Amino acid sequence: MNAVIEVKHLTKDFKDVKAVNDLSFSVESGQVYGFLGQNGAGKSTTIRMLLTLIKPSSGDIEIFGMNLLKHRNEILRQVGAIIERPDLYKYLTALENLRIFAAMSGVKVSEKALMDQLAMVGLAERAHSKVKTYSQGMKQRLGIATALVHDPKLIILDEPTNGLDPQGIADIRNLILHLSKEMNKTLLISSHLLSEMELIADSMIIIDKGKKVVEGKVNELFDPAETVVELKTTDDAATYEKLQQSALKNMVQGKRNDCILLKLHRDEIPAVMKELVQMDIEVLSFYSKHSLEDYFLSLTAHPHVETLKN
């Protein structure tokens, strides 16, 4: 496997705050790589270092097998990116914006190709409208078009679904899958929503306080044997007692004040349901999720130092 991004011992100090702390990871060609962390975990700082906006305090970044700082322009010619909000020139039209960023990427793009690009993100009809008249979702899509206009091999999207409505989020998700599966691009996508990443990423990393927490392939990280169920019944205390006596007792993880937690293999869910009915337990809700999600949420429990404003 050849790594498109290879990050080794990356560290960034801002005065007295370590925003990124000895971070290493690699992104393989053709992958959708999820870059997860809560706000202030160091995602944006890392992405900005990948794009040479911020200079690392120490550590190495290689992209396409080349040292980033030594081969900056050569590398960036093959990279498309959105960093946080996709801010563009509001007083220019979508087409003008696209033309400018295509030219700045050092490639010659025909007017037809520009229009095709706008059509791909569904903005062909508004190509000649000034960007200041655009909605947030339209701006996001135009931002993606500018990131893709020079046909880069590597696409870096920082929180691409931020501020979008559910339809917008779904559109972006489909676009990402299209780029990955049909156009064979490598994508690095940062997010603070694990569920979102689970749907699109092949691999992911979770960072906290600038440090790696877990990294791996999604299908391995979301091992079905690690499924967690939150069970609510009419009488949780009685149910808990009953479950302790039943065949399900090995699954019971504990009791929270509002629900009972079960840990099981995802395939066991139908059998568990049946069992609950037979035990005459009145179920109010049965919510299954992956244990990673619980873990991820627990990271928010401690206060983070905001090193970058969003």
Partner 1 sequence: MWKLLKIELFKIFKRPRTYIAFGAVAAIVFLFQIGLKFDGKSYLDLILNNVSDSFEVSDDFKSRLLNGYFICFAILNILLIQMPLLVALIAGDSIAGEANMGTLRLSLTKPISRTDYMLVKFAASVIYTLILLLWLAVLALFGSMLIFGTNTLVVFRSEGIEMMNSFDVLWRYVAAFGYAAVALTTVSALAFLLSVFAENSIGPIIATMSIVIVLTILSEFNIPIYDKTVKPYLFTTHMVAWKGFFYVQADADNKTIDGTIQNLPAILRSMGILIAYIIGFVGTAIWIFKRKDILT
Using the rule CB under 8 A, which residue among 5, 81, 197, 259 binds partner 1?
A: 81
Q: Applying CB under 8 A, which of residues 9, 67, 69, 103 lies at the interface with partner 1?
A: 103
Q: Tell the smallest beta-carbon distance from residue 180 to partner 1 (Å).
A: 21
Residue 36 CB, shortest distance to partner 1, in Å, is 21
The piece of 104-112, 249-257, 269-277, 283-291 that touches partner 1 (CB under 8 A) is: 104-112
How far, in Å, CA of 80 to CA of 23, rounded?
22
CB atoms within 10 A of CB 45: 24
Q: Is 266 a binder of partner 1 (CB under 8 A)?
A: no
Question: With helix as H, strand as E and coil as C, how does 197-220 read?
Answer: HHHHCCEEEEEECCEEEEEEEHHH
| Shortest reach from residue 268's CB to partner 1, in Å | 47
Nearer to partner 1, 53 or 283 (CB): 53
Torsion of CA 94, 97, 98, 102, to 10 degrees: 180
CB nearer to partner 1: pick between 103 and 247:
103
Burial code of 165-197, b = ≥16 C-beta within 10 A, e = fewer?
Answer: eeebbebbeebbeebbeeeebbbbbbbbebebb
Phi, psi of 193 (to 5 degrees): -110, 105
Q: Which of residues 53, 69, 238, 273 is near partner 1 by CB under 8 A?
A: 53
Quick check: 148 binds partner 1 (CB under 8 A)?
no
- Selection from 31, 13, 32 nearest residue 22 by Cα: 13
Q: 191 forms bridges with which residues in the sheet?
A: 36
Rounded least distance, CB 33 to partner 1, Å: 18
Pairing verdict, β 58-63 and 3-14 = antiparallel
Q: Which is nearer to partner 1, 105 or 161 (CB)?
A: 105
Which window, 68-76, 110-118, 272-280, 289-297, contacts partner 1 (CB under 8 A)?
A: 68-76
132 binds partner 1 (CB under 8 A): no
| Minimum gap (Å) between residue 260 Cβ and partner 1 | 46
Q: What residues make contact with partner 1 under the rule CB under 8 A?
A: 48, 51-55, 72-77, 79, 81-92, 96, 100-101, 103-106, 146, 308-309
